[in-house]
Structure 1
Amino acid sequence: MLIPIADVPRWFTERKPMGTVAVSHGTATLSWEQLERGANARARAFMAKGVKPGDFVAIGLPNGNTFFETTFAVWKCGATPTSLSWRLPRGEAAAVLEILKPALVVGGEADWNAPNSLPADFVPEGLSEQPLDSPVARYWKAMTSGGSTGRPKVILDHQPAVVDTAAEPILGIPKGVSLLNPGPLYHNAPFIASHLALFAGGRVSGLVKFDAEETLRLIEANRVQWVNFVPTMMHRIWALPEAVRNGYDLSSLQVVFHMAAPMPPWLKEKWIEWLGPERIFELYGGTERQGATVISGVEWLAHKGSVGKIGDTSQLRIIGEDGNDVATGETGEIYFLPNDGAGSTYHYLGAEPKRRPDGWESLGDIGRLDAEGYLYLGDRLADMILRGGANIYPAEVEAAVTAHPEVRSCVVVGLPDPELGQRIHAILELVETADAARVVDGMAGLLADRLSRTKHPESYEIVSIGPRDDSGKVRRTLLRDERAAWLKQGRDFRIMTLRNRRDTAG
């Protein structure tokens, strides 16, 4: 049976025992009844602030129960939610809001200067908590992403805001699931997984900020069946003392997904040894949903390094530089085409897709297929840095760094990091009179209002010859590989390395 997403809390309120927990963060819980009543009151408050069917509402809230009251309130307005990091600096927030043009911003920083907003601690008072007749939003979510130009974009998901109560499990999320969300809800995968659990009448146990041991404690305490990690989180859990890691009962776990960043093979093997291959799964795909591959741990042991086979809702090709399909085992660019055709799953605000005339689209990755159709990823064609599961585009960081008056040019690359996958390294050419140490010391203050902390360079290098040629071009891969080799040799080419930031996974 198809019902509006807006009606999900009421649907389960009427079908579950009174007091059944829907969402919890720490000791704070929301029953299905509380979620329904709170979302109804918030929806009326949003409508009073001018939100209409078809509008966008930007949500800048940390992980917590209020986040879910807010998303369901947005759907009850017939509007589409866009989740943003509540800590976005003014410049980044302004760029997103300019593209999105939301009718309302809930939460976020005070300096976002949104024309119509409600504070993060807003509590609706004096408003009815009774059910609403909710129109259905055309797009159930609109998530943000960066771009190779350093400009943000918004990805509108073409699925309407309805849910099939009789649908088969998605990503192995069964009806009535106990699901743990350890990731920030402004990222696509945590947002989707958490809401799918609620659409299935399950319980979401959320972490306000990732903590390795707390994750294990919650799995035991709430008999968690399904969880999604980024590899950085799995690394931190594995780094716990063995007695701590094995001191919790994880027997309830049925599915452990990981996605969003490459997984070190050694770490995956450890998790497979620890929990068993039948419980470990990996997904590769984009927010755009043009296509995705999934692989189980059992399959991975037979196809080590693979990210799986294409699903049945789309097609996959590997295309070479000449524009033709490559032979099996050869490397090329990965292209997807949904069965319903190009543009059927999403469209962008603020960007254009990388789409061939025949409709096939690329996310900018390269890879190869084996004889059985399993996909293996290579380096990403786009220059993005994958830091702890987050995509960071060098152009955005470079634009902020070069705002310093003594920086002549800048190239940003990702260097290997054992925990985060990659860290951000900035290569600077300074004006002749600049003092390198002073420039680097002052960079954090300069970037504070321009970039999220996770996008600040963690090391700097000063070069006498500019890393770009006269036309502004740069051989980024060469620069990156050269420095990665220097690291292996133990050569210290950095003027400064910052060691106090290991916050991405939270």
Structure 2
Amino acid sequence: MLIPLADIPRWYAERKPRDTIAVSHGDDAITWDQLERNANRRARAFAERGVKPGDFVAIGLPNSNAFYETTFAVWKCGATPTSLSWRLPRGEAAAVLEILRPALVVGGEADWNAPNRLPPDFSPQGFSDAPLANPVARYWKAMTSGGSTGRPKVILDHGPAVIETTASPGLEIQTGTSLLNPGPLYHNAPFILSHFALFTGGRVTGMVKFDAEETLRLIEKNGVQWVNFVPTMMHRIWALPEQVRSAYDLSSLKTVFHMAAPMPPWLKEKWIEWLGPERIWELYGGTERQGACIINGVEWMAHKGSVGKIGETARLRIIGEDGNDVAPGETGEIYFLPNEGAGSTYHYLGAEPKRRPDGWESLGDIGRLDAEGYLYLGDRLADMVLRGGANIYPAEIEAAVTEHPDVRSCVVVGLPDPEFGQRVHAILELNAGAQPQAVADGMAAFLADRLSRYKHPESFEVVAASPRDDSGKVRRTLLRDERASWLKEGRAFRIVPSRPQAKAG
């Protein structure tokens, strides 16, 4: 049955036992009935602040039950939610809000200077919790993206705010699925997937912030069946002592997806060995929904390194620099075209798509297809390091470096070099107690059987916190340009030179 997203909480509140939990974060849990009533109160409070059908509402809240009360309240107003990191600095927030022009901002920082804002701890007192009736929002979500350059844009999903409650949304999410969300809800995948679980009457166990062992404990405690990680999270779980990983019962877990960032093949193999290939899945695609590839662990073992084949809703091409399709095995830029045509799934606010005259679109990624149609990714074109005429892909180096037992996280960028044009620079977060110079000095030997010499990092920078955000994403261009400017200005930052220096080869 097709129903508005606004009516989802009431739909399940009327059909499930009254004490059935819909969402929980830590010890804070709400039932379907509480979600419905709290969302109705919020919706009336938002309407009193001027929110009308067709408006946008920006949500700057951390992961919490209140976040879901707010999204359903926005849909009950007939409006479209946009989720932002509540920690966005003033300048970035201002740039997004200028593009979006929301009727209301819920949460965020006080210095965002939003003209109409409710504080993060807002509680709708004195408003009725009775059901509401409003027009269905034309766009069910509008997510933001900074892209590789940091210039913000808003991606309006062309799906209306309705759902077929009897249909599975795909991705192995079944009706009534118990889902764990370890990722920040201001990113597209955690936002979509956790809401999909609710749309189909499942339970969402949310994490305010990712913690490796706590993830395993929650899977066991709540009988979690489905979880989506980014590779950084999987790396941190795998880095737990074996006796810790094996102490928890994960038998309820049927599906582990990963997406949003490149997966080191060695790490994927470890997870397949641990949980079995039938439970490990990967998705590659953009928020824009022009197309997506999916692969499970069984297929992956036969096509190691692949992100799968294009799904049934779109087509895929690999196009070379001459504008023509390349042969299988050759590398080029990845282009998608939805079956319903260009622009059928989304449109941008604040940007223009990279679209060819024939309608095919690119997200800026490069890759190759094998003879069977399986896609293998390179890096984004803007992220490649060009060293002495050789194209070097940061993701390949990052995957190798993160195998090092002292490395917690790694991002690779190209810095200016007078001889080779660019040199490979690795930004490292190390495990507690690791010695930066010892890690740098030993890295060449560690990478000897993993990478060609010309791909070895030539300098290392040690940082106190992960250079990746909570979702495992990295703004590589921003990191690269920032460090290049520091070098130009003669500013000091903590570079640990590798010895011996890697040579071109």
TM-score of the two chains, using structure 1 as the length reference: 0.81
Counterpart of 1:479 in structure 2 is 423
- The CA deviation at 1:379 is 2.3
- Matched with 2:464 is 499
| 8 A Cα contact 1:169 1:175, kept in partner | no
Other-structure match for 2:278: 278
State the shift of 1:503 in Å: 7.1
Aligned-partner SS, 1:479: strand
Q: CA deviation at 1:329?
A: 1.2
Counterpart Cα distance in 1 of 2:243 and 2:257: 24
Superposed displacement of residue 382, structure 1 = 2.7
Where do 1:347-386 residues align within 5 Å? Answer: 347-383=347-383
> Residue 423 of structure 1 aligns to which amino acid in structure 2?
V
Which ranges in structure 2 are unaligned for 5 or more consecutive residues? 386-393, 429-439, 446-455, 472-505
CA distance in 2, matches of 1:378, 1:117: 42
Q: Which stretch has the larger CA shift, 298-307 or 370-379?
A: 370-379
1:278-427 equivalences under 5 Å are 278-383=278-383, 416=398, 418=402, 422-423=410-411, 427=415
* Aligned-pair CA distance for 1:19: 1.2
Shift of 1:493: 6.5
Q: Give the CA RMSD over aligned residues.
A: 2.5
The CA deviation at 1:179 is 0.2
> Superposed, which structure 2 residues align to 1:187-336 within 5 Å?
187-336=187-336
What SS does structure 2 have at the residue aligned with 1:382? helix
Letter in 2 for 1:505: D
Q: Is contact 1:262-1:421 (8 Å) kept?
A: no
The code of the aligned residue for 2:150 comes to G
Q: CA deviation at 1:335?
A: 0.4
Distance (whole Å) between structure 1 residues aligned to residue 197 and residue 204 of structure 2: 7
Deviations 1:40-65 (A, max 9, x none): 00000000000011110000000010
Question: Does the 8 Å CA contact 2:320/2:326 hold for their aligned counterparts?
Answer: yes
1:131 correspondence with 2:131:
yes
Q: How far apart are the structure 2 equivalents of 1:268 and 1:321?
A: 32
- CA deviations on 1:217-255 (whole Å, 9 max, x unpaired) are 000011000000000000000000101101100001111
Secondary structure of 2:423 counterpart: helix
What is the number of residues matched between the two proteins?
435
1:426-469: per-residue Cα shift (whole Å, max 9, x none)? 858xxxxxxxxxxxxxxxxxxxxxxxxxxxxxxxxxx8x7x9xx
Give the whole-Å Cα distance in 1 for the aligned partners of 2:170 and 2:408: 28
Partner SS state of residue 218, structure 2: helix
Q: Supply the AA of the counterpart residue of 2:41.
A: A
Instruction: Please state how far the C-alpha of 1:504 moved relative to its aligned partner.
Output: 2.8
Amino acid at match of 1:25: H
Q: Is the 1:156–1:348 Cα contact (8 Å) retained in structure 2?
A: yes
Displacement of 1:324 in angstroms is 0.8
After superposition, give the CA deviation of every residue in 1:154-188 in whole Å (9 maximum; x if it has no partner): 00000000000121342110000100000000010
C-alpha distance in 1 between matches for 2:257 and 2:43? 33
Q: Is the 8 A contact 1:148 1:384 kept in 2?
A: no
Deviation sequence 1:337-369 (CA, Å, 0-9, x none)? 000000000000000000000000001111111
DSSP 3-state at the match of 1:236: helix
What CA distance in whole angstroms lies between the structure 1 residues aligned with 2:413 and 2:170?
38
Whose RCO is larger (CA < 8 A, sep 6+)?
1
Distance 2:230 2:181 in 1: 11
Q: Deviations over 1:386-443 (max 9, x none)?
A: xxxxxxxxxxxxxxxxxxxxxxxxxxx9973516764266858xxxxxxxxxxxxxxx
Secondary structure of 1:505's match? coil
Cα deviation 1:121-177 (Å, max 9, x = unaligned): 000011000000131000000000013443100000000000001213421100001
Q: Say whether residues 1:86 and 2:86 are aligned partners.
A: yes
The equivalent of 2:62 in structure 1 is 62
Structure-2 change in CA distance of 1:314 and 1:199 (3 Å): same
1:457 corresponds to which residue?
none
Q: Please give the per-residue CA displacement for 1:311-350, whole angstroms capped at 9, x wherever unaligned.
A: 0000001111111111111111110000000000000000
Task: Flag as ranges the 4+ runs of structure 1 deviating above 6 A.
Answer: 481-487, 490-493
Aligned residues: percent identity? 74
TM-score under structure 2 length normalisation: 0.82
Question: Structure 1 residues 361, 56: closer, same or farther in 2, change over 3 A?
Answer: same
Distance 2:238 2:15 in 1: 40
Could you say which residue in structure 1 is the equivalent of 2:7? 7
**CA 1:273–1:21: 2 relative to 1, 3 Å:** same
Separation of aligned partners in 1, 2:468 and 2:351: 29
Distance 1:332 1:234, change over 3 A: same
